Structures are given as C-alpha cells and as structure tokens.
Structure 1
Amino acid sequence: MSPPLCLLFDSDGTLVDSEFLLAEVMEEILPAFGLPFSAQQYMEEFRGVRFLAIVLELEPRHQSLSDPQRDAMEAAMRDLMEARMREHLRPIVGMREALERLQNYPCGVVSNGPERKIRCAMESVDFTQHFGGNLFSAYTFGVWKPDPVLYLKAAEAMGYPAERCVVIDDAAVGVEAGLKAGMQVIHLNHFPDSEITPDGAIALLHAKDLPQAVARLAALLPA
C-alpha cells in the first residue's frame, strides 16, 4: 500500500537556509546594473518571488534595462549564488531530523528557482537521498508561485491527487499556491511577529514539529 500523503517541500527558506545568502547576493549584483537594492528589501518585500518579477518591479523605480542586460545580471547572480551555496549553505534548523522521520513518505521539492539551483542546494546540504529526482522547477514548467499550477504539476508527476498532498512552504507566495491548489498546507513561519499564516494553512514555527503535524494530517484522511 502506498503512503497516504505526498509531501511537497519548497527549497529556499524551507529546506535550506538560503534566503539571507540570496538577499546578500542580490544586494551585490543588482546595484552593479543600476538597480539600487538591499538585502533587507529582499527579505521584507520580495522573499520567494521570481527573480525576473523582482527586476521588473524595480525597473520603474530606477531605470529600464535591456533584455541582454537582464540576462547578464541573472547569470551573474546565479553564478555567485551557486558559489555561496557550495561554501556556506546550511539546512533549516531541525529539518535534517524531520526528513529522517518522514522518510516513509514520498517527497518532492517544488521551487520558483531553476532546477540547477535546487540540485545545488540539495547536494550542498546532503539532502539528495530524500528527494532523488523529484525536483520540480518553475523554470521547467513555465509557471511560478503563487500560481497553483506548479504544485499541481508536481503532484501529477508524483502520482498523487491534490487532496493527498501536503505543501510545506515558508513564503507567502508558496502558501498561497498550495491553498489555491486544494492541498493541505503547512506554513513554516520564521517571522511570526510580522507574518500571518492565512486561514486554511497550519502554522509551524520549527521544522522539528513537521513529523507530528504530517502524522495528524494523515490520521484525518478517510480510510
């Protein structure tokens, strides 16, 4: 008998503590292309948002870029981010232990980032054994969170209906996508003083509590 639930994890900020690394990299790269930007701005305004969407939001505030400039900027950002991840990336506290306890569930990674970045992140923290080839990138499907289609495509590839999938995501765009997809959603809320978990999602403050939350959801499923 197959496990009752499929677990779909976001990557940045959920599995790996990469958000601050990305914020710092963007603080270095974007101003070099004429777009003033700070790490704090990323964390407060753009966390989890597609890179191009961030750039297109910033351009009217500062200056317009050509397509070749955007491509060069993204390439520079990706290269620097990969180097930083290889050297400095760490798992979210408690996530390694949580994944060990959840190993009987099929698990996938669903990210707004490119597949190369997802793979780099999983390799850097030695999480590849938990996910194998179940890495689902918005760049592959051409659809980005908060669009629910990304999570629905991942569920289809994993062979599970939406109602038997659990989204685990830290960012508002991912939580919204999971809820719109009709899935169970666990919001790993790292900023409870400033972020509100929306109705319909389960708020968790620590990754160590994930196995118990998943067990409760599994127990609620009809036989």
Structure 2
Amino acid sequence: MARNVCLLFDCDGTLVDSEPLLAEVLTEIFNELGLPFVPADYMTRFRGTAFPTILATLEREHGDITPDAREAAMPAMRRRLYARMDQGVPRIAGIESALERLPHPKAVASNGPIEKIRRAMAASALAHHFGDHLYSAYEVGSHKPDPGLYLHATRALAFAPENAIVIDDAAVGVEAGLAAGMQVIHINHFPDQEATPAGAHALYHMEELPALVDHLTR
C-alpha cells in the first residue's frame, strides 16, 4: 500500500531552467563590482546558494567592496534578473507532464526571494500546480543547506518529515533534505561531472519522476 506523501520542489534548475540566466546576471553584477566571476562559477561552485553567501565568498577571495556597493548589489541583481524573467522562463524538460501525473500535495521551497519564485511560476505557467504553497528561505529565515526551509514547507502541508519527498538539483538542497530526515530525489543534470550524494536517489529526466515517486512510497 502506498504511503501518503507530499512533494517539495526546489525552483531554479528543478522546475524552471533559469539557472543559466541567473548565472549571466550574477556575472554582470559581480564583474561591475570588480569581483572576478564567470557563469561557470555559479553552475559549478554556487548553484542553489543564496546571493549574500556568494558575495561574501567572493569578497573573502578577492577583497572587500565598499559598504554602499555591497548594500546596492542584491537589489540591482534582482531588478535585472526580474526584467529578463518577465520575458519568459523555460521549464525543465518533462516537468509539466510529470506534475500532471503526480496527484500529491506539492510545494516550492527555494533559497530565492518569494518575488522571484512567484515570477518564475507565472512566467513558466506552472503556478497552478502549487497554489499558495511557495516558500522562500528569506521569509522562513533558513537557507539550504540548513533543513529549516524544507521542514517549514512540510509543516505547512501538514505532513511529517518522513512522509515528505524533496526534489532538488543542487547539492545544498539535497543536503538540506537529507538533514531534515526526508527522502530526497536528486535531479542530476550533470552526471559526468557530479555524483548523487549517498542517501539520495538519482534522477536524470523529469519524465521518470512519477515512477520514482511511486517506488519510494511503496
């Protein structure tokens, strides 16, 4: 008999293919601040990591920027990113079909700000799958890899952690789900470059998600 579970989805790289766009915007912003950065840095070092953490890491490595520049950096990044997102955000291949075949309660839990999550859902036409269950690390006060964000989303859906399944493409998200005591599906977009962490289940295409969820609930 299948268990009743809820599904907790990351946003960027899991539901929408916005990470290359974000990597480009981050490159522009950091380079304008005099901090060396290329799009590959986001994809290989910082994927899923909150902007303040990336900025702090770059300052440690390359030197501090002025307090005024530091304060203005994130709002500038968001304005530029939102303007480009409003032109459309592609979905991850196969995600619409997968969501249609998954009747379970669902939530989005992302390290990004709530406005970014809402814009991504609207621009990709996926919002109807999640309703009001959109949760941001900034509002919850807990960024992955801390498990607090996923635990908050699980409570909001009225499920116990052991009856939640996390679907996330980033290492920080996989770590957060495992730390929360949840089953974790790792969307591995780069199997030649990264391994799925121990304890998580690898998935290479979203079309296979419903079958894996079914397997994990039995």
Q: Provide the TM-score with structure 1 as the length reference.
A: 0.94
Percent identity, aligned pairs only, is 53
| Corresponding position of 1:183 | 182
* Matched residue, 1:214: 213
Instruction: Measure the CA separation in 2 of the matches of 1:171 and 1:116.
Output: 20
1:164 paired residue number: 163
The CA RMSD over aligned residues, in Å, is 1.1
Match of 2:39 in 1: 39
Which residues of structure 1 form unaligned runs of 5+? none
SS of the residue 1:87 aligns to: coil
In the alignment, does 2:73 pair up with 1:78? no
Counterpart in 1 of 2:124?
125
2:48 aligned counterpart, secondary structure: coil
Alignment of structure 1 residues 41-56 onto 2, 5 Å: 41-56=41-56
Residue 123 of structure 2 aligns with an amino acid whose one-letter code is S
In the alignment, the residues of structure 2 paired with residue 170 and residue 163 of structure 1 have an alpha-carbon distance, to the nearest angstrom, of: 20
Q: Which residue of 2 aligns with 1:109?
A: 108
Counting only pairs closer than 5 Å after superposition, residues 146-161 of structure 1 correspond to structure 2 as 146-161=145-160
Q: Distance in 2 between matches of 1:120 and 1:71?
A: 23
Per-residue deviation, residues 101-132 of structure 1 (Å, max 9, x unmatched): 11x21000000000000000000001110001
Partners in 1 of 2:101 and 2:67 — Cα distance?
46
Distance (whole Å) between structure 2 residues aligned to residue 112 and residue 98 of structure 1: 23
Q: Look up the match of 2:173.
A: 174
**Distance apart, 1:30 and its partner CA:** 1.1
> Does the CA-based 8 Å contact 1:50-1:144 persist in structure 2?
yes
Q: How many residues align?
A: 216
Report SS of the residue matched to 2:194: coil
Which position in structure 2 is the counterpart of 1:142? 141
Q: Does structure 2 conserve the Cα–Cα contact (< 8 Å) formed by 1:168 and 1:188?
A: yes
2:191 equivalent in structure 1: 192
Query: Per the alignment, in what secondary structure is the counterpart of residue 199 of structure 1?
Result: coil
The aligned amino acid for 1:194 is Q
- The Cα offsets for residues 112-166 of structure 1, whole Å up to 9 and x where unpaired, read as 0000000000000011100011001000011100001111111011100000000
CA contact (8 A) 1:34 1:63 kept: no
CA distance in 1, matches of 2:78, 2:39: 16
Deviation at 1:84, TM superposition (A): 1.4
Can you list the C-alpha shifts for 1:182-212, whole angstroms capped at 9, x where unaligned?
0010000000011111111110000110001
Q: What is the letter of the counterpart of residue 182 of structure 2? A: M
Q: TM-score by structure 2 length?
A: 0.96
Query: For residues 127 and 182 of structure 1, what CA distance do their matches in structure 2 show?
Result: 27
1:89 paired with 2:89, answer yes
Query: Structure 2 regions of 5+ residues with no counterpart?
Result: none
Distance between the aligned counterparts of 2:122 and 2:105, measured in 1?
Answer: 19
Cα pair 1:47 1:171 within 8 Å, conserved: yes
C-alpha distance in 1 between matches for 2:133 and 2:70: 29
Shift of 1:63: 2.4
Contact 1:85 1:121 in 2 (8 A): yes
Deviation at 1:171, TM superposition (A): 0.3
